[in-house]
Amino acid sequence: MKLTKIFLAVVALCALACHPNGGNEETIKWEENGTLVGEWCLTSWAGSSAAKPQVYIAFNDDSTFNLYQQNYSVIWFHYEGNYALNNNVLTGAYSDGKELASEYKVDFSSDGKMIRLTSLENSSDVAIYTATEIPTWIIEEAKTPEMVRSVEADRFL
């Protein structure tokens, strides 16, 4: 009996250790109402906050966006384009006419500090962004793809 209790205690501790933040993760309440306009930083991609590209995006009032990404490279790239948000579905195209990689379902955290973009083509492709001002040095350092011909970067969005 004592051995069974010890075994169950070890199993419970292992389960807590495998859960992010030891099981004390704060639950985020996602809602369909919110604002997309603002500056955002990618904080989690496909459920992981570890191995992810560095991405900042600004959604502007005039339905334009500016995307800054350092996608496993030393170079920050800048892309811009237009977007639309209809019935919580984000669509858009880059300024060169290439469409976004997917259409995305957009959810908003109840406190308005986070957005979640879920690909409608691949539901495991989930990106969570946190409201963050884009650092000026990134904006100044970022290159357009035309400026760097030897490097081809996949667009994150």
Cα gap 108→83, rounded to integer Å: 17
Domain spans in the chain, listed from the N-terminal domain onward: 30-146
- In CATH terms, the fold of domain 30-146 is Lipocalin (2.40.128)
Structure tokens at 115: 């957005």
Cα gap 118→56, rounded to integer Å: 17
65-79, pLDDT tens digit by residue?
999 998 777 889 999
76-113, pLDDT tens digit by residue?
999 999 999 999 999 999 999 999 999 999 999 999 99
pTM: 0.77
